[in-house]
Structure 1
């Protein structure tokens, strides 16, 4: 069961979850997104909240509406999303993480890039 926090609106949290799934290839480019009703049931949310999350992804160019058919993942969505996430990480998260590593005295040789 998904736990929501107060640091950002729930629709944005859901949009982030769905974007992460898109990064993982679920659903694939060209495939339909689950319906608002299905997502509302899966995440126990109001359909209006789900609609706003999908709208946020649509505004980012990751989804396209097909009249009478629903929302579909656009071609190139995964790579656009990956590029945006890389940029956000390198410009926002990495500087903070690098500074924390420096403070803790952790060098590159101590970091294991593989899962344990």
Structure 2
């Protein structure tokens, strides 16, 4: 599951975020404890705890004392908003900058998007 692209704790946080966005984990659903997570993936419990702490700091998870960690009610909407913003920054803004460099008018881009929208494979 883990690779060398980023620290394991970050990959843990990213996977849980993906599970929330995709609906695998729903609001107010309990997630595995850090010890269960560490045992299942054979990692140090402190590493798992660090990933969970990131998610807690971001408001994606919350702790019920003595019970465990749960997905917050606003987690999915927060993550979707972050992804939309990242999409515009990384895809749309870069596309528009490149189009301006090569002289593609925005009307042509809009026309292409409208054509693609009409196809079922998009």
Q: TM-score, normalised by structure 1?
A: 0.76
Instruction: Indicate which of 29, 39, 44 corresponds to 1:31.
Output: 29
Give unpaired runs (5+ residues) of structure 2: 103-111
Structure 1 residue aligned with 2:69: 71
Report the Cα distance in structure 2 between the residues aligned to 1:113 and 1:95, rounded to whole angstroms. Answer: 25
78 and 92 in structure 1: CA distance in 2 versus 1, 3 angstrom threshold: same
94 and 9 in structure 1: CA distance in 2 versus 1, 3 angstrom threshold: farther
Larger helix proportion of the pair: 2
43 and 86 in structure 1: CA distance in 2 versus 1, 3 angstrom threshold: farther
Q: CA RMSD in A?
A: 2.9
Q: TM-score, normalised by structure 2?
A: 0.73
- Rg comparison, structure with higher value: 2
Runs of 4+ in 1 over 6 A off after TM superposition: 110-113
Give unpaired runs (5+ residues) of structure 1: none
